[in-house]
Amino acid sequence: MRKRPLILISNDDGIDAPGIYALVNEIKKIGEVFVAAPDKQQSAVGHAITMNYPLRAQKFYKNGKFFGYAIDGTPADAVKLAVGSLLKQKPDLLISGINHGANTAVSIIYSGTVSAATEGTFLGIPSIAVSLTTYGKPDFRYAAKFTKKLAQTVLKKGIPAGTLLNVNVPPIPEKEIKGVKITRQSKAKWNDWFETRKDPNNKEYYWLTGRLVDEEKSDDTDLWAVEHNYVSITPIQYDLTDYKLLGVLKKWKLDY
């Protein structure tokens, strides 16, 4: 009999977040789950890693039961440490999430949730990042069930090395979900700015605020899919080279 797959779970909302709890409860139905996640919220950390300080891993208990390891670092740190030191064998799959909030368009660059999956990808593990696209009160149940089914498909079919799946699930009841769209990353951008405020000592400080503005009208993007009640799956890779520009730059006279 084939042994159950080993599935590493991480996130960026922290090990005590409801999203990772909902995910673990579903995923443990299909495999051995190992949790290694930041000990506190790490949103918008990008792909940060900790090099100048040591890391620690604390056992974390939930409702009196061992849940996983809380790492005093970033999502990428947690994955790296789990695979490199805490686990005896390489996981068959990594799932990061379920994030409370969308990771679509350019937010992918800032996303701690995606960065945990990125680190898994670098380590040669098929990896999935999952986000629920609401900042309101979340219900993670459908997203967790969907992820379980997607995990089974990925365990069977694999993902080419170097690519991860970035999943965004709309925050609506299961019966309103229209289906799944394979999408590209939207080119929508953050229109953000700083509010300038004064502290009680009359010194200025700045607080970031803003919103994502979609100028594309195309129906093949991650953003379009979730706004139209589809689950979005975007394959993400890490060669950032702008190949179209190579030829142009080669014509510049740069041998100063």
Residue 205, amino acid:
Y
Stretch of residues binding a second copy (CB under 8 A), selected from 25-33, 61-69, 145-153, 211-219: 145-153
CB of 236 to a second copy, least distance (A): 5
CB of 238 to a second copy, least distance (A): 6
Kindly identify the residues of this chain, within the stretch 60-79, that bind a second copy according to CB under 8 A: 76
Residue 18, amino acid:
P
Kindly identify the residues of this chain, within the stretch 206-225, that bind a second copy according to CB under 8 A: 206-208
Whether 135 contacts 171, CB under 8 Å: no
Compute the distance between CA of residue 144 and CA of residue 205 in angstroms, rounded to an integer: 39
Residue 232, amino acid:
S
A 10 A CB-CB count for 32 gives 14
The answer to whether residue 197 forms part of the interface with a second copy (CB under 8 A) is yes
Taking the least distance from each CB to a second copy, the nearer of 1 and 248 is 248
* Nearest partner of 11 among 184, 130, 149, 173, judged by Cα: 130
CB of 33 to a second copy, least distance (A): 20
* Nearest partner of 112 among 45, 195, 33, 204, judged by Cα: 45
* Nearest partner of 131 among 107, 153, 149, 152, judged by Cα: 107
Taking the least distance from each CB to a second copy, the nearer of 30 and 109 is 109
Compute the distance between CA of residue 114 and CA of residue 47 in angstroms, rounded to an integer: 8
The answer to whether residue 175 forms part of the interface with a second copy (CB under 8 A) is no
The answer to whether residue 84 forms part of the interface with a second copy (CB under 8 A) is yes
The answer to whether residue 146 forms part of the interface with a second copy (CB under 8 A) is yes
Q: Given the structure tokens 């139905």, which residue do they identify?
A: 29
Stretch of residues binding a second copy (CB under 8 A), selected from 2-10, 15-23, 101-109, 126-134: 101-109
The answer to whether residue 254 forms part of the interface with a second copy (CB under 8 A) is yes
Q: Which of 43, 133, 168, 232 binds a second copy (CB under 8 A)?
A: 43
